[in-house]
Amino acid sequence: MNLQTTVRLSTITQFHELFSDKLQLQVPLSRYTSARVGGPAEMFLTVNSADELKTAVELAYAHHLPYFILGGGSNIMVADEGVRGLVIMNRAKQVTYKNIGAGVICTAESGMNLSSLARQCMAKGLGGLEWAVSIPGTVGGAVVGNSGAHGSDMNHHLRAATIWEPGRGVRIYSNREMAYAYRSSVLKKEHGRNMA
């Protein structure tokens, strides 16, 4: 099943000029969700860095193009009719570690798989994320939804989140500003999909 394209050719052309073969049309989203169901994305773009993600969202915002950022594909169901506009597959996975006094701060991009991050931290002798080893999905989804298991969650381990909001720019949310609650945060409540 294909969606009738509603995106202007000039918009598709501009995305293709910036992202080349990373942009595809009419891609079945069933390939990218845990449930293996869902119709096509009108436009489908894979990004591999936070900068590419920001560029894609900025361009979609400038063209008034609806967009959805897809992470690990868990906890999501896509309608058989598919998704209009742009679906951005977030594969921004850079991770850095910084020694701070007697501790270490781990910074991870939003497309990093949460269970892989937990394993990397354990391999470096860093504790705290062991609870996340069995959680599917990405760091971005975990931060927004306050993912948790085995008596812990993101609320207990996130120091700050750097968020880019179209039309507003970059903002750093402290743990307190995230207003975490059970499987929820201020980002989930107030911002919905309009952030990266």
- pLDDT tens, position by position, 19-72: 999 999 999 999 999 999 999 999 999 999 999 999 999 999 999 999 999 998
- Please report the pLDDT score of residue 123 as a whole number: 96
Check if the beta carbon of residue 121 is closer than 8 Å to that of residue 77.
no
Question: In Å, what is the CA distance from 52 to each residue of 23, 56, 106, 177?
Answer: 12, 6, 21, 26
Whether the domain at 9-90 and the domain at 95-191 fall into the same CATH topology: no
Write down the residue that tokens 């906890």 correspond to: 75
**Domains in the chain: boundaries:** 9-90, 95-191
Buried b (16+ CB within 10 A) or exposed e, 81-96: ebbbbbbbbbbbbeee
CATH class of 95-191: alpha beta
Q: Please state, in angstroms and rounded to a whole number, the distance separating the CA atoms of residues 167 and 191.
A: 13
Q: What is the CATH number assigned to the segment(s) 9-90?
A: 3.30.43.10
User: Rounded distance, CA 106 to CA 94, Å?
Assistant: 11
Q: What is the pLDDT of residue 192?
A: 54
The C-alpha atoms of residue 134 and residue 180 are separated, in whole angstroms, by 21
Q: Can you give the pTM of this predicted structure?
A: 0.88
Q: What is the C-alpha separation between 91 and 73, in angstroms, rounded? A: 12
Other Cβ atoms within 10 Å of 33 Cβ, number: 18
> What is the reported pLDDT for 193?
52
Work out the percent of the chain whose per-residue pLDDT is above 90. 81
Structure tokens at 60: 């979609």
